[in-house]
Amino acid sequence: MRYRVLRPPYLYRWAVLLSVLVVAVAAMVSAFSSAEGTPTAVPAPAAAPVTATTTPPEPADLVRGTAHAGKFVALTFDDGPDPVYTPQILDALTRAGAVATFCMVGTNVTRYPELVRTVLARGMRLCDHTVSHDEQLSKRSEQRITAEISGAWSDLQVAAGADVPVPYFRAPGGAWSALMRDVAARQGMKSLSWSVDSRDWTQPGAAQIVATVQRTIQPGAVVLLHDGGGKRTQTVEALNQLLPWLSAQGYRFDFPA
């Protein structure tokens, strides 16, 4: 005798399945809620690497050394010519048998052209220091940069009364740009920087100017000094002490490379 398997009605089976599904969903919601309510440790973001803040190096094509190797030093004077201080500095250089390079501003060149001729007659070299000494020149347009550099070069030619070499260009405040260096190169000039800043422009006193140069001088150095742009009595006094000291240390005087 075969027994018939009793199957629950379809409605009942769907009810059972639905109950199981509801229980399962409820369990998942409960677990999710529990997880949401419990703070989970979130790993802290990795700290950014600490990098040293350094001043970007000057471009490699700037001149910072003397023309000759060995114990030489190149003195450079900015922002002249000045009718009071340039002649005093020239006299000090002549007494010491020294040479130097004078980075001249066009507005002063046109005002005192005879000083340009005197500088050349004393065996010194000229350097273009722009027409107006705009320390923001590196941010100007190419047209403005060209006018400032070429204009000062032309001023020097006119003041000298002859075609004279101007081997160097120096940016006002040492604020360089690639465009400025390129314009100077097209004019036939090397971009002249320095390796020793006397900081005479801060007017710290002659003794401090002397001490700064003595502490930082080395063979092949190009020294930044000023014969214009303000009162330069301290520079003149410091130079009269530095020139014999440099000679006593075995230094000879040269032009920049």
What residues act catalytically?
A: 78, 226
Three-state DSSP at 208 gives helix
Copy the structure tokens of residue 1.
């005798």
Q: Within 13 Å and on the Cβ side, how many CA atoms surround 145?
A: 23
Query: What element of type H or E holds 241?
Result: helix 233-248
Question: CA-CA distance, 90 to 12, in Å (whole number)?
Answer: 117
Taking the CA atoms of 88, 95, 105 and 209 in sequence, report the sign of the dihedral they define: negative
Taking the CA atoms of 185, 190, 195 and 201 in sequence, report the sign of the dihedral they define: negative
72 residue type, one letter: F
Question: CA-CA distance, 105 to 129, in Å (whole number)?
Answer: 5
DSSP state of 67: S
For residue 127, what are the β-bridge partners? 103, 168
Question: CA-CA distance, 249 to 116, in Å (whole number)?
Answer: 31
Q: Find the DSSP H helices in 162-205.
A: 178-186
Q: Within 13 Å and on the Cβ side, how many CA atoms surround 236?
A: 16
